[in-house]
């Protein structure tokens, strides 16, 4: 399952000093307020009707375009089929985050399952926010305890009711960055709280053709889907979350073609700073 390792070593992007920080500038603000009254998991009939039509467009147009745009290959879909019964009872997906459109690759890999995707609130309020919301994006509230309580209740219920919750555990998107950055423990929180497994997934890169390089991409993307990883029933609380996060981080490294001990970052996020390993 491990991939042949290719590192694009990008120098064109202003990666922040801290590994969970964003560098993209979101120019548009649609004005939504993500407070305790916001429908984080919107199950209203008008919204679900819109999602139904968007899913048709995804299959007919967006997924084919995504495969071409990202030069995308998806490996490990057999694990989605093999563990479909497990996934249909509720699961959490975890992957690295390396392209602003890589959530579309996740959707393509999981179809016909329709995951919810935890997203940066500014992105949901931004230029692509309508599409992100209609394909399952859930904004993460910021600095609002009442909103966070509602957000957690709704997202936990989504998993408990058989839903799939996709989480980018690194905390932000860094384009064409090959190492797996430290993970926050949010995904493990859901897994432990809901008693459901994590499905590890990894984006890795293939060396692009000369023709493709002319159009800008530094690498062609491969998404590899792994097998379910369950919480350790003998551990509780934060210890269970930390231990599970370490196992998931190690597996995401392997799926990306990286030996965990050779990855320049540890598994758990502790306000880690960027490692300039190739500059």
158 by Cβ neighbours in 10 Å (0-12 / 13-18 / 19+) ranks as buried
Other CB atoms within a 10 A radius of the CB of residue 70 amount to: 22
Q: Where are the alpha helices (DSSP H) in the chain?
A: 45-57, 63-69, 77-82, 84-87, 102-110, 121-124, 129-134, 145-160, 186-194, 210-214, 237-255
Element (H, E) at 119: strand 116-120
Reading the block at residue 260, the tokens are 């965990």
Residue 109 DSSP SS3: helix
Helix (H) or strand (E) holding 137: strand 137-140
pTM (predicted TM-score):
0.94
**pLDDT at position 278:** 83
Total count of residues recorded for the chain:
279
Domains of the chain: 45-262 (3.40.1130.10)
pLDDT by position in tens, the chain (length 279): 445 789 999 999 999 999 999 999 998 999 999 999 999 999 999 999 999 999 999 999 999 999 998 999 999 999 999 999 999 999 999 999 999 999 999 999 999 999 999 999 999 999 999 999 999 999 999 989 999 999 999 999 999 999 999 999 999 999 999 999 999 999 999 999 999 999 999 999 999 877 766 666 788 999 999 999 999 999 999 999 999 999 999 999 999 999 999 999 999 999 999 999 986
Per-residue DSSP letters for 5-54? P------SS---SBTT--------------STTS-SS---HHHHHHHHHH
Query: Across-strand partners of 120?
Result: 140
């Amino acid at each position: 399952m491990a991939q042949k390792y290719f590192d694009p070593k990008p120098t064109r992007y202003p990666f922040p000093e801290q590994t969970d920080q964003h560098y993209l500038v979101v120019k548009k603000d649609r004005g939504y307020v993500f407070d305790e009254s916001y429908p984080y998991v919107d199950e209203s009939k008008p919204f679900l009707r819109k999602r139904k039509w968007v899913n048709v467009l995804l299959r007919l147009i967006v997924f084919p375009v995504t495969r071409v745009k990202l030069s995308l290959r998806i490996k490990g879909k057999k694990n989605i089929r093999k563990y479909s019964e497990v996934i249909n009872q509720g699961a959490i997906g975890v992957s690295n985050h390396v392209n602003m459109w890589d959530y579309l690759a996740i959707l393509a890999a999981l179809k016909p399952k329709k995951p919810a995707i935890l997203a940066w609130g500014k992105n949901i309020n931004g230029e692509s926010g309508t599409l992100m919301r209609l394909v399952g994006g859930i904004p993460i509230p910021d600095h609002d305890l009442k909103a966070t309580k509602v957000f957690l209740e709704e997202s936990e219920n989504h998993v408990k009711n058989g839903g799939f919750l996709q989480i980018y555990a690194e905390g932000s998107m860094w384009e064409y960055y090959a190492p797996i950055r430290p993970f926050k423990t949010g995904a493990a929180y859901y897994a432990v709280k809901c008693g459901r497994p994590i499905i590890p997934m990894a984006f890795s890169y293939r060396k692009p053709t000369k023709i493709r390089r002319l159009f800008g991409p530094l690498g062609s993307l491969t998404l590899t889907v792994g097998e379910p990883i369950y919480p350790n029933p003998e551990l509780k609380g934060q210890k269970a979350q930390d231990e599970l996060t370490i196992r998931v981080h190690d597996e995401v490294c392997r799926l990306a073609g990286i030996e965990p001990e050779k990855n320049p970052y540890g598994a758990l996020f502790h306000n880690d700073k960027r490692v300039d390993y190739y500059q």
